[in-house]
């Protein structure tokens, strides 16, 4: 009888643990569903992007386009949200707008950084790349990366205001006075072609068809890998997790590669294929 009673007690404990686990799982699903249901009810996800083709931009008819938009659309449709509506804003306004609940999430080309991980919940990376300098043809000042800029006091480089490139430039000992802060990609290219900057530093795939815009690209092979991910409010981490599940599935079934490498021509799929966690880009991020 003692043995049977102990067995029954242990069985009861196991059942309690299983029940608690089920409740927690249901709670996670319920938390994820709060934001998803709000987007469903609105009939759209309201998001903020910067004008960064080929990643995210608005077409002449004011429709969101680009690689990140297509990935977002695939995930949203899997969650039952029919479309997204994009608002153009600047990098430094994105997170404050997200925190103020002006947007549901941020799919618009935001790099993962340790500082940003403190205030937002990032998905797994959906791009992986290194930074590059966009320079005039022939690279008149022979700039090769952050280090060469830091070693050339007269060099002026354009960076997106509030971007990870601006932050890394300062960490690389490039004086603030050598930075030309611009609001978007087009302004960065114009700074170079117009002679206000010797280079524009941004991700290696951030300028579509650079030759047609009067610049050439020099990849900084010494720069750390950077990655773009979708950003959510911390309290919406469960929805972030739901996005992660779908992104990981797209990696596994080849759908992400078809967009990333085949359609948009990003030629470093091998790097993205092995970049599977936020911490692969920024140590300590979860």
- Confidence tier at 225 by pLDDT (50, 70, 90): confident
Is residue 274 exposed (0-12), middle (13-18) or buried (19+ Cβ within 10 Å)? exposed
- Confidence tier at 219 by pLDDT (50, 70, 90): very high
Residue 142 pLDDT > 50:
yes
What pLDDT shows up at residue 31?
A: 58
Residue 25 pLDDT > 50:
no
What pLDDT shows up at residue 253?
A: 97
Q: Treating both helix axes as pointing N-terminal to C-terminal, what angle do 237-253 and 2-42 enclose, rounded to 10 degrees? A: 90
Residue 184 pLDDT > 70:
yes
What pLDDT shows up at residue 28?
A: 46
- Confidence tier at 249 by pLDDT (50, 70, 90): very high
Segment 28-68, tens digit of pLDDT? 455 568 999 999 999 999 999 998 888 999 999 999 999 99
Rounded Cα–Cα distance for residues 89 and 108 (Å): 10
pTM: 0.71
- Confidence tier at 208 by pLDDT (50, 70, 90): confident
Rounded Cα–Cα distance for residues 171 and 16 (Å): 52
Q: Which residues contact 187 (CB under 8 A, 6 or more apart)?
A: 158
Residue 258 sits at φ, ψ, to 5 deg, of -60, -40
Residue 197 pLDDT > 80:
yes
What domains are defined for the chain?
28-128+227-280 (3.40.190.10), 131-219 (3.40.190.10)
Chain-centroid distance, C-alpha 165: 14
Mean residue pLDDT of the chain comes to: 89
């Amino acid at each position: 009888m003692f043995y049977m009673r102990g067995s029954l007690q242990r069985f009861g404990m196991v059942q309690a643990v299983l029940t608690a686990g089920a409740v927690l799982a249901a709670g996670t699903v319920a938390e994820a569903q709060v934001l998803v249901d709000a987007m469903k009810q609105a009939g759209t996800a309201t998001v903020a992007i910067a004008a960064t083709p080929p990643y995210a931009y608005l077409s002449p008819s004011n429709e969101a386009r680009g690689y990140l938009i297509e990935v977002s659309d695939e995930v949203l449709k899997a969650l039952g949200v029919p479309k997204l509506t994009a608002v153009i804003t600047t990098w430094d306004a994105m997170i404050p707008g997200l925190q103020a609940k002006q947007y549901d999430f941020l799919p618009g080309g935001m790099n993962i950084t340790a500082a940003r991980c403190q205030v937002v919940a990032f998905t797994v990376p959906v791009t992986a790349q290194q930074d590059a300098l966009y320079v005039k043809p022939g690279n008149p000042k022979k700039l090769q990366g952050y280090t060469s800029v830091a070693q050339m006091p007269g060099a002026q480089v354009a960076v997106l205001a509030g971007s990870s490139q601006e932050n890394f430039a300062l960490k690389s000992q490039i004086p603030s006075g050598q930075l030309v802060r611009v609001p978007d990609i087009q302004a960065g290219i114009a700074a170079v072609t117009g002679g206000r900057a010797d280079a524009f530093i941004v991700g290696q795939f951030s300028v579509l068809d650079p030759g047609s815009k009067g610049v050439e690209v020099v990849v900084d092979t010494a720069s750390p890998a950077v990655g773009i991910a979708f950003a959510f409010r911390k309290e919406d981490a469960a929805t972030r997790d739901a996005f992660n599940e779908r992104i990981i599935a797209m990696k596994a079934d080849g759908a992400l590669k078809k967009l990333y490498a085949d359609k948009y021509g990003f030629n470093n799929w091998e790097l993205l294929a092995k970049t599977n966690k936020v911490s692969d880009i920024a140590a300590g991020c979860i």
